[in-house]
Amino acid sequence: MGNLRFLLLAVIVAGGGFYWFGNQQDVPFTGRSQFVTVGLDQASALGEEAYNEILSQSDVVTRGETAAMVERIGRKLADVAAPENPGFEWQFTLVDSPQANAFALPGGYTAVYTGLLPLTVNEDGLAAVIGHEMGHAIARHGSERMSQQQVVQVGAVAVGLLLGDQSIELQRIAMQAFGLGAQYGFALPFSRLHEEEADYIGLILTARACFDPREAPKIWERMSAAGNGQPPEFASTHPSHATRIDNLNKWMPDALAVGEASCGSEQ
């Protein structure tokens, strides 16, 4: 039984390696290689379903200057994202809610909450936020997270096989350790990477669309000044405000160059 167990483990590891390397693709804008097994059509269908469910339970704003502004800025960003658009039909919706939140789901289903507007202050700031959320969708971060869950599940099976002849208590401890390792060594670092990647993509889109990318770090400065506390970065799904500000300022020369090339004196 021991030999059979190790044979099964070897097959799982080898198969997992082939599966991992056989489902790599490059992220637009950054060129990072990512593991994605979820098709575009499937992801978009899931995004549309989730979007409709969220909006059915929300106070959607369909008229007025602010809703028109969200639509106008979103369309301008979508136009300049066309070369990297994976095939999404972008939608932009304003939701009346005190939450300081925004999102873009697979398929391009995007929403901005009114509670975020005091932090964005102006159209340039709002463009940076919408561009960031679009960056998540363009980079297919949602599909990547779903695909990574498959890897974690295979890893749990492998651990179970490896310790199949050990005591229940030892198996329990090992699975808990595996879970913590997967969370802090895999899931959370990737989540922070996704946020940084979306920050970069959003900054470039903002500049391409002739908005001022220098408003992007100011949003996080205001967020930090508002006292919105964060857990330690290693335990968080998001980089710290300070890290985001530093990154955005580091990337700013590239964004300004993009804006100059795209817009000239218009920016």
Beta strands in 85-230 (DSSP E): 91-95, 102-105, 109-113
* Phi, psi of 15, rounded to the nearest 5 degrees: -65, -40
Radius of gyration of the chain (CA): 21
In whole angstroms, give the CA distance from residue 159 to residue 240. Answer: 33
- Tell me how far CA of residue 196 lies from CA of 14, 174, 177, 189, 219, in angstroms: 32, 32, 28, 11, 15
Does residue 84 carry a catalytic annotation?
A: no
* 224, 131 Cβ separation under 8 angstroms: no
Active-site residue (options: 65, 133, 169, 197):
133
Q: Are 96 and 59 in contact (CB under 8 A)?
A: yes
How far apart are alpha carbons 202 and 255 in whole angstroms? 10
The residues annotated as belonging to the active site are: 133
